């Protein structure tokens, strides 16, 4: 028999506003103290998640993040500070939590979640919160939680929109594969790095995730099990969609190669690296035409000298097809974007118009790291 945990005088003072809530009270606060939560990611979603879980009194919090703090993170990743730029995100978050609530035990996992470590890491916690921003990680976290029988609080953001749900609360609950049985093509859902995100959106969605996590731990209220909350911040509208288990959904029996799973089927596209692009620009600049399909505002921040700005939207509408056809006449056409996703979409669109083009993988973000570090990353 374990001794019944007690709240110290400091904890009773710290959590006084919880203790007077009949739905929480001392019993609920002790559940929070005994609980363990793993937060995968300490960025935009992870920042409010971690801060409010720690403030609420969750006894043990794990942080999985192998990334470093960058200046562009600070617009939305409020757990970090300017002094932490260049340092470990996980350690930066842990230090902030310790300063906020020293009663919270923080476990730092200073690496990315992968197939080799997911089951061991997730298995050590009661509940998982997904603060990631890419499909391979979301499917990996989901499948590991399904295999281990762990509830998962899901959130995602893009531009001015967000989603929240609770997956796998019971063996008969929906999971992420009931929302998205298959990953969408990369060009259909650009990352926040490509599409942008309103700084407050991860805060709003992360707070909703923290709310769901606290409800699950304390056993109060009605959680978003079987429901997807969709947020449109521009219209300030909240919609709710019903999620049901797909009876034909394939059973999760083991972890797989999630990057391969999320790779588009049509991966035979001709592509070059940024270092190969640099060599072409140096050796035969007149023999190539480099088209940049980012938005004008992005091009003002950073661009490759000699590139032609042709926003992807103008290709999708057909407006710029003739212009690109003229650029490609007698030259090899190369297409660039921020990370390579939009440029891949552009190459496909151009191929449909009979225009051969080559994708520059990694985009200007890779260029700024591997070729010209004077170009700003954003």
Instruction: Place 295 in a pLDDT band, splitting at 50, 70 and 90.
Output: confident
As given in the structure block, the two tokens for residue 313 are 């939207």
Q: State mean pLDDT over 177-199.
A: 76
Q: What is the pLDDT of residue 321?
A: 95
Instruction: Place 375 in a pLDDT band, splitting at 50, 70 and 90.
Output: confident
As given in the structure block, the two tokens for residue 146 are 């399904």
Q: What is the pLDDT of residue 356?
A: 94
Q: How many CA atoms does the CB half-sphere of 56 hold within 13 Å? A: 28
Instruction: Place 186 in a pLDDT band, splitting at 50, 70 and 90.
Output: low
pTM for the whole thing?
A: 0.76
Q: What is the pLDDT of residue 223?
A: 97
Residues of the chain with CATH 3.40.250.10: 271-370
CA-CA distances (angstroms) from residue 266 to 164, 262, 263, 347, 354? 31, 12, 9, 12, 17
* The CATH number of the domain covering residues in 35-261: 3.40.50.720
pLDDT at 191 over 90: no
Q: What is the pLDDT of residue 39?
A: 98
Q: State mean pLDDT over 20-41.
A: 98
- What is the per-residue pLDDT across 221-274, written as a single tens digit (0 to 9) for each? 999 999 999 999 999 999 999 999 988 777 899 998 888 778 765 556 899 999
Residues of the chain with CATH 3.40.50.720: 35-261
Q: State mean pLDDT over 322-335.
A: 95
Classify domain 271-370 at the CATH topology level: Oxidized Rhodanese; domain 1 (3.40.250)
Q: Quote the mean pLDDT of the chain.
A: 92
DSSP helix/strand/coil, 206: helix
pLDDT at 1 over 50: no
User: Using CA atoms, how far apart are residues 119 and 144, in angstroms rounded to an integer?
Assistant: 6
């Amino acid at each position: 028999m374990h001794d019944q945990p007690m709240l110290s005088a400091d904890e009773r003072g710290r959590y006084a506003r919880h203790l007077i809530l009949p739905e929480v009270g001392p019993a609920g606060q002790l559940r929070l103290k005994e609980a363990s939560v793993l937060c995968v990611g300490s960025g935009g979603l992870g920042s409010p998640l971690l801060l409010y879980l720690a403030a609420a009194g969750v006894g043990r919090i794990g942080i999985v993040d192998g990334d470093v703090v960058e200046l562009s993170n600070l617009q939305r990743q409020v757990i970090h500070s300017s002094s932490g730029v260049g340092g470990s995100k996980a350690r930066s978050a842990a230090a902030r939590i310790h300063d906020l609530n020293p009663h919270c035990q923080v476990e730092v996992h200073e690496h990315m979640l992968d197939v080799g470590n997911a089951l061991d890491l997730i298995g050590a916690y009661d509940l998982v919160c997904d603060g990631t921003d890419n499909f391979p990680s979301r499917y990996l976290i989901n499948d590991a939680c399904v295999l281990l029988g762990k509830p998962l609080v899901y959130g995602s953001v893009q531009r001015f929109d967000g989603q929240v749900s609770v997956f796998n609360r019971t063996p008969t609950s929906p999971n992420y594969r009931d929302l998205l049985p298959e990953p969408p093509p990369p060009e259909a859902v650009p990352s926040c790095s490509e599409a942008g995100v309103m700084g407050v959106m991860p805060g709003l969605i992360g707070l909703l995730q923290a709310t769901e996590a606290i409800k699950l731990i304390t056993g109060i209220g009605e959680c978003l099990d079987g429901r997807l909350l969709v947020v449109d911040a521009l219209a300030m509208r909240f919609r709710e969609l019903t999620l049901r288990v797909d009876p034909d959904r394939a059973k999760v029996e083991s972890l797989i190669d999630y990057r391969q799973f999320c790779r588009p089927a049509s991966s035979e596209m001709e592509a070059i690296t940024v270092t190969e692009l640099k060599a072409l620009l140096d050796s035969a600049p007149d023999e190539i035409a480099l088209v940049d399909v980012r938005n004008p505002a992005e091009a003002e921040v950073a661009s490759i000298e000699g590139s032609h700005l042709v926003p992807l939207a103008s290709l999708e509408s057909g407006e710029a097809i003739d212009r690109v056809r003229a650029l490609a006449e007698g030259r090899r056409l190369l297409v660039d974007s921020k990370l390579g996703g939009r440029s891949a979409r552009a190459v496909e669109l151009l191929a449909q118009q009979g225009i051969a083009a080559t994708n520059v993988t990694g985009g200007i973000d890779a260029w700024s790291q591997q070729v010209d570090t004077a170009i700003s990353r954003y």
